Every structure is written in structure tokens, then in C-alpha cells.
């Protein structure tokens, strides 16, 4: 789904109140009955004003009318939730404008945004629970239930978990983007000006980059964590150029790790499987892309397990629980992510000859398109023009 901010500037403060009321109502109602929307929005203009706003919001697709046997009402759409998050960022002065989309996954949209000082940032919008085509075909009831609001809950969980881990990892000095803000199903983080490893066709010294990626994986393990999706899409490679005293230029490659909603603890019951999968992903990629195979076997889970919490490494695997996650929330999120992985595999296996799981629908299968993508990034930098909406309206229940 594409984020379209055009309607944002035209919404009046009453419309925001009503939109927020629909969001509040969604906590306990799959379809929020119109009288409840009226009650929650408490507009001075009364029911008429609410109805006007409801029509305005439905017209631009931020809420959708649902006719049920028992009652009529409205549900929040993904677009509506996106707007609420942007509105929050805008009023907190964390985001000022929204630019190009720089990435689209099956379960997320990645947008370039800018703050008031025109500093570029990245907005990641989680879209977990987005309906897969398989379920559309096979089960209409299932589809209906999935649409009813679990997507909102699951996407929120994914954003909260990702934000909590990014914060904790950065604090421990791991190379990750800087988390800046979180609202609902979205996070704002620093922009990493780098290509995903996926788009890099050759490196001067594959052995040293491989070594660095494995040591990052082992550092995570020391903190009690497994990335869980440690692949060439989720490792960005930054090129740092330095000039030595003889005027010789040298380039060093710096990996930055992203994408954390699926992180698991080293204590997880399937930890060994996740750990091995991460290791093998890197091994396979280096062998196929760079023709590099390490002489050293492993690393092995049982050895990594012994290092958890050693040398004063802070355990981070309880981080999300510390940030208010319950066991049930973790379980729900894990189940949803597993389903996503299942769909991904199904899709990957239906394309013969795909060298690894493709998690980006628009990702080019050819590896030599890095320049094109960089242009896009650069273009985005000068094209952030859509104002997020300067209205400082009151926001009930934010």
C-alpha cells in the first residue's frame, strides 16, 4: 500500500478528532458503531459535525464503512492509521515532510521523510497481517477476520519491538540506525546512506567482510540475541573513504544491521535453528556472490551459547519485555512473523532459480542495479515536498 499524504493538509481539526475517535473505538470494536464515534469525538458541533467529518474521512479512504447484520459502523483503514502516526510525528516536530518511498516489502513500506531542519530520516511503516493472496483465495472468512483489526495490533507490536531493540542495540554500540521516534505501527530512524549487501556485486576483501558479519552475529549472541533474518537485504554496507598521509585513498566497508521485529532470544526453544539459519544465510550468500568459503567451520550455536552475558555483555533478550511487552504479545507477533516467512518461502520456491528468499516484491533479481537505486535515494533527498499538515489541533487520547 502506498502512503499518500495529499489529503492530509485538507483535514480540519474536527476530522482529526473523529479519526482519533475511530481509532479509540477500534480497541474494543472491530467495527466502531457510529454513535460510539459521536460519543468519543465529543465535537462541539454535535452529531452533524461528526457526520460531516465521517463523510470527509471515508471519502479519502481513512475510514471505511462496514455494513453488518447487527449495526453499521466504520473501521480504521491502514491509510487512517498512517495518517494518525504522521499527525503525531508532525505535532511532536519529529517529521515535517514525506518524500519518496525507498523500499517496499511485503510487510512494510520504507519512506524517506525530513524533519524541520530538512534532515533526512527514514519512516518504516509496518504492515504485518497484510492479507496474503493465498488466504484470499482459500478462505474468505479468514480474510474477513484478519482484516478486522488484528493487522493493526500486530503491526503495532512489530514497530514497538523493533524500536525497543534498535534502542538497546545502539546503546550497546552495535551498528544499527539511530531510532528517533515511534508511533503506532511506525518508527522513524536515521537514514543510512548505503546499499544493501544484496546490491553489491564485488568487494575487495570478501574474507574480512565475512569475518565482520560473523563477528556481529556473535556479538548479538553475547547479548543473548539472534537476529532471525540476517540476510543480504538486512545488512547495509556503508563505504567509508579515507585518505592516508601519502594521499592514498582507501575504502573501508562498514556493515549496518537493520530489521529487528523477528529477533529472538538465545534461550528460545528453536534458538539453534534460528542461529544456524542466520549463519548459513551469510555463508551461502558469500559463496554464491563472491565465491568465498570460509576455512573455519561454524560458528556453532553451542559455542555461542557459552558466551551469552560474558565479558560484561548486557543481556538484551529481555528488552522487549522490559518495554511493556507481555508473553502473549511476543507469541502473537512470533506467530504472525512465522506466517510471513512461510508465505515468503512459498513465493521464493515458486520462482525457480531465485538465489535466496526474496523479501522485497520490487527488488530486482539482477544484482547490478545499485546505481539506479542510489539515484532514487538521492532524488528523494531533494524531493520531499508533501507537507504533513501544520494544523495544531487537539488530539484526544493520543
Q: Which position's Cβ is nearest ligand ADP?
A: 105
Nearer of residues 19 and 187 to ligand ADP, judged by Cβ: 187
Measure the CA–CA gap between 80 and 70, rounded to whole angstroms: 24
Measure the CA–CA gap between 377 and 103, rounded to whole angstroms: 10
Measure the CA–CA gap between 265 and 340, rounded to whole angstroms: 19
SS3 state at 265: strand
Among 31, 191, 214, 333, binds ligand ADP (CB under 6 A): 191
Measure the CA–CA gap between 103 and 361, rounded to whole angstroms: 9
Residue 90, interface with ligand ADP (CB under 6 A)? no
Measure the CA–CA gap between 306 and 221, rounded to whole angstroms: 9
359 in active site: no
User: Is the bond into 26 cis (omega within 30 degrees of 0)?
Assistant: no
Among 259, 278, 317, 334, binds Mg ion (CB under 5 A): 259
Which cell numbers in the block locate residue 55? 463523510
Among 103, 149, 175, 299, binds ligand ADP (CB under 6 A): 103
Between the CA atoms of 7, 13, 16 and 20, what dihedral angle is there, to the nearest 10 degrees? 180
Measure the CA–CA gap between 47 and 390, rounded to whole angstroms: 26
Interaction with ligand ADP in 269-328: which residues (CB under 6 A)? Answer: none
Which cell numbers in the block locate residue 208? 574480512
CB of 389 to ligand ADP, least distance (A): 24
- 73, interface contact from Mg ion, ligand ADP, none, CB < 5-8 Å by kind: none
CB of 232 to ligand ADP, least distance (A): 9
CA angle 187, 190, 191 (to 5 degrees): 110
Name residue 317's beta-bridge partners.
Answer: none
Stretch of residues binding ligand ADP (CB under 6 A), selected from 31-39, 100-108, 293-301, 382-390: 100-108
Which residue from 227, 224, 195 is spatially nearest to 213, judged by alpha carbons?
227
Interaction with ligand ADP in 231-260: which residues (CB under 6 A)? Answer: 233-234, 258-259
194-233 footprint of Mg ion as x/- string (CB under 5 A): ---------------------------------------x
Q: How many residues bind Mg ion (CB under 5 A)?
A: 3
Among 22, 189, 217, 237, binds ligand ADP (CB under 6 A): 189
Q: Which position's Cβ is nearest Mg ion?
A: 259
207-236 footprint of ligand ADP as x/- string (CB under 6 A): --------------------------xx--
Among 177, 179, 380, 389, binds ligand ADP (CB under 6 A): 177
Task: Give the dihedral sign, CA 197/198/204/206.
Answer: positive
Q: How far is CA 43 from CA 20, 26, 79, 390, in A?
A: 12, 19, 23, 21
Phi, psi angles (nearest 5°) of residue 333: -65, -40
Nearer of residues 177 and 299 to ligand ADP, judged by Cβ: 177
Interaction with ligand ADP in 344-373: which residues (CB under 6 A)? Answer: 359
Q: Taking a C-beta distance cutoff of 8 angstroms, is the pair 80, 104 a contact? A: no
CA atoms lying within 13 Å on the CB side of residue 89: 32
CB of 23 to ligand ADP, least distance (A): 24
- 192, interface contact from ligand ADP, Mg ion, none, CB < 5-8 Å by kind: ligand ADP
Residue of 15, 82, 109, 229 marked active site: 229
Residues binding Mg ion (CB under 5 A):
233-234, 259
- List the catalytic residues: 229
Residues binding ligand ADP (CB under 6 A):
102-103, 105, 107-108, 110, 122, 124, 177, 189, 191-192, 196, 233-234, 258-259, 359
Amino acid at each position: 500500500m502506498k502512503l499518500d499524504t495529499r489529503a492530509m493538509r485538507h483535514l480540519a481539526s474536527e476530522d482529526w478528532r473523529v479519526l482519533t475517535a475511530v481509532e479509540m473505538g477500534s480497541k474494543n470494536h472491530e467495527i466502531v458503531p457510529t454513535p460510539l464515534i459521536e460519543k468519543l469525538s465529543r465535537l462541539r458541533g454535535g452529531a452533524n459535525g461528526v457526520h460531516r467529518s465521517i463523510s470527509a474521512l471515508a471519502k479519502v479512504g481513512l475510514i471505511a464503512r462496514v455494513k453488518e447484520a447487527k449495526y453499521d459502523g466504520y473501521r480504521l483503514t491502514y491509510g487512517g492509521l498512517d495518517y494518525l502516526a504522521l499527525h503525531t510525528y508532525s505535532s511532536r516536530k519529529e517529521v515535517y515532510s514525506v518524500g519518496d518511498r525507498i523500499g517496499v516489502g511485503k510487510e512494510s513500506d520504507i519512506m524517506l521523510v525530513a524533519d524541520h531542519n530538512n534532515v533526512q530520516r527514514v519512516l518504516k511503516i509496518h504492515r504485518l497481517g497484510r492479507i496474503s493472496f493465498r488466504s484470499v483465495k482459500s478462505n474468505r472468512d479468514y480474510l474477513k477476520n484478519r482484516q478486522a483489526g488484528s493487522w493493526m495490533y500486530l503491526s503495532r507490536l512489530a514497530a514497538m519491538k523493533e524500536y525497543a531493540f534498535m534502542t538497546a542495540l545502539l546503546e550497546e554500540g552495535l551498528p544499527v540506525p539511530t531510532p528517533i521516534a515511534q508511533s503506532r505501527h511506525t518508527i522513524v530512524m536515521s537514514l543510512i546512506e548505503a546499499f544493501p549487501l544484496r546490491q553489491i556485486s564485488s568487494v575487495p576483501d570478501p574474507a574480512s567482510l565475512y569475518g565482520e558479519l560473523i563477528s556481529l552475529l556473535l556479538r548479538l549472541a553475547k547479548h543473548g540475541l539472534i537476529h532471525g533474518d540476517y540476510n543480504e537485504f538486512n545488512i547495509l554496507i556503508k563505504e567509508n573513504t579515507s585518505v592516508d598521509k601519502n594521499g592514498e585513498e582507501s575504502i573501508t566497508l562498514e556493515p549496518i544491521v537493520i530489521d529487528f521485529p523477528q529477533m529472538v532470544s538465545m534461550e528460545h526453544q528453536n534458538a539453534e535453528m534460528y542461529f544456524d539459519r542466520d549463519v548459513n544465510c551469510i555463508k551461502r550468500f558469500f559463496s554464491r556472490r563472491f565465491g568465498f568459503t570460509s576455512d573455519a567451520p561454524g560458528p556453532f550455536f553451542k559455542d555461542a551459547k557459552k558466551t551469552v552475558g560474558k565479558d560484561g555483555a548486557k543481556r538484551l533478550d529481555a528488552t522487549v519485555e522490559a518495554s511493556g511487552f507481555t508473553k502473549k504479545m511476543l507469541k502473537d507477533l512470533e506467530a504472525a512473523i512465522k506466517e510471513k516467512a512461510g508465505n515468503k518461502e512459498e513465493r521464493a520456491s515458486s520462482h525457480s532459480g531465485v538465489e535466496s528468499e526474496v523479501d522485497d516484491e520490487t527488488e530486482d533479481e539482477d544484482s547490478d542495479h545499485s546505481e539506479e537505486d542510489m539515484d532514487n535515494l538521492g532524488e528523494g533527498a531533494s524531493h520531499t515536498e508533501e507537507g504533513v499538515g501544520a494544523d495544531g489541533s487537539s488530539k484526544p487520547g493520543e
